[in-house]
Chains A and B, each alone.
Chain A
Amino acid sequence: MDIQSCVEVRNEWDIVSARQLGRNMAKELGFGNVDQARITTAISELARNIYLYAGRGKICIEPIDQLGKKGLRIIALDNGPGIREIRKVMEDGYTTSGGLGAGLPGVKRLMDEFSIESTVDVGTEISATKWLR
């Protein structure tokens, strides 16, 4: 299980599949139940963003091992419209969907590392990592 697993996100049910994959992987890696809930919730939020804003994309989850430091990385990829103002979407309370989705600041708080790359009209790639304590 050192390979990446991905779930295509095209509809609401794929959001459930993505978070189930995340929970199983987090459990196997030995995360406690609070971190399992954090990881599962972060995946759910990222998958919902793909569904809401890009229409389709994918969530990939991979175990990581950096010099003995173990963790799990979530990668959310889409070829959607991209994010025009990244600084703004990283502010608490900013929304373009009318309050669906707690947004990216929430995901950042749930995880240990967070990075986002987005190009308008090309797509968005978000990567979020949780380390095993």
Chain B
Amino acid sequence: MRIPILKLHEYLLITIQVEMDDQTALQFQEDLLNKIHDTGAKGVVIDLTSVDMIDSFIAKVLGDVVRMSKLMGAQVVLTGIQPAVAITLIDLGISMREVSTALDLEQGLDKLRLELEG
């Protein structure tokens, strides 16, 4: 299964709408880095509105892809983390401290614009 990555001007948009197994998560990591490389995108929004569970593996894959993108020169913002997901991540002991987040897609794009222009 592949997660589609959309290009919008200098940004990439991803909305995760599938139940992620390990392979899908790792494939997404690779696809996103290749897409950043091919398009020269400066900013990425990964929207998690439809994701109802993030376990430690998916959290690690997401945290890693944010750091990998940063190495390539692209900023990533995670948006739309559901209340139940935020609660379980903290229960699990995962804070994703260094990851940039926003309430929804709109605020995520605003945040990227500020970070990239400011």
Q: Are A12 and B19 in contact (CB under 8 A)?
A: no
Residues of B within 8 A of A101 (CB): 56-57
Interface: A56 (CB within 8 A): no
User: Which of chain B's residues 45-70 have a Cβ closer than 8 Å to chain A?
Assistant: 52-57, 59-60
Residues of B within 8 A of A44 (CB): 53, 55, 57
Q: Give the distance to chain B from A96, nearest Cβ to Cβ, in Å.
A: 14
Chain A residues at the B interface, C-beta cutoff of 8 Å: 12-13, 15-16, 19-20, 23, 33-34, 36-38, 40-41, 44-45, 48, 92, 99-103, 105-106, 109-110
Count chain B residues whose beta carbon lies closer than 8 angstroms to a beta carbon of A: 22
Q: Are B55 and A12 in contact (CB under 8 A)?
A: no
In whole angstroms, how far apart are the Cα atoms of A41 and B88 in the complex?
7
12 contacts between A and B (CB under 8 A): A15-B21, A34-B84, A36-B52, A36-B84, A37-B52, A37-B84, A37-B88, A48-B55, A100-B56, A100-B57, A102-B93, A105-B93
In whole angstroms, how far apart are the Cα atoms of A42 and B66 in the complex?
25
Interface: B10 (CB within 8 A): no
Q: Are A16 and B87 in contact (CB under 8 A)?
A: no
Interface: B30 (CB within 8 A): no
Q: Give the distance to chain A from B4, nearest Cβ to Cβ, in Å.
A: 20
Q: CB < 8 Å: which of B19, B93, B94 contacts A20?
A: B19
Chain B residues at the A interface, C-beta cutoff of 8 Å: 19, 21-23, 52-57, 59-60, 82-85, 87-88, 91-94
In whole angstroms, how far apart are the Cα atoms of A106 and B94 in the complex?
9
Interface centre among B21, B52, B55, B87 (most CB of A within 10 A): B55
Nearest residue (CB) in B for A40 is: B53
Q: Give the distance to chain B from A93, nearest Cβ to Cβ, in Å.
A: 8
Q: Are A45 and B55 in contact (CB under 8 A)?
A: yes
Given known contacts A16-B19, A101-B56, A37 and B87 CB-to-CB distance under 8 angstroms: yes
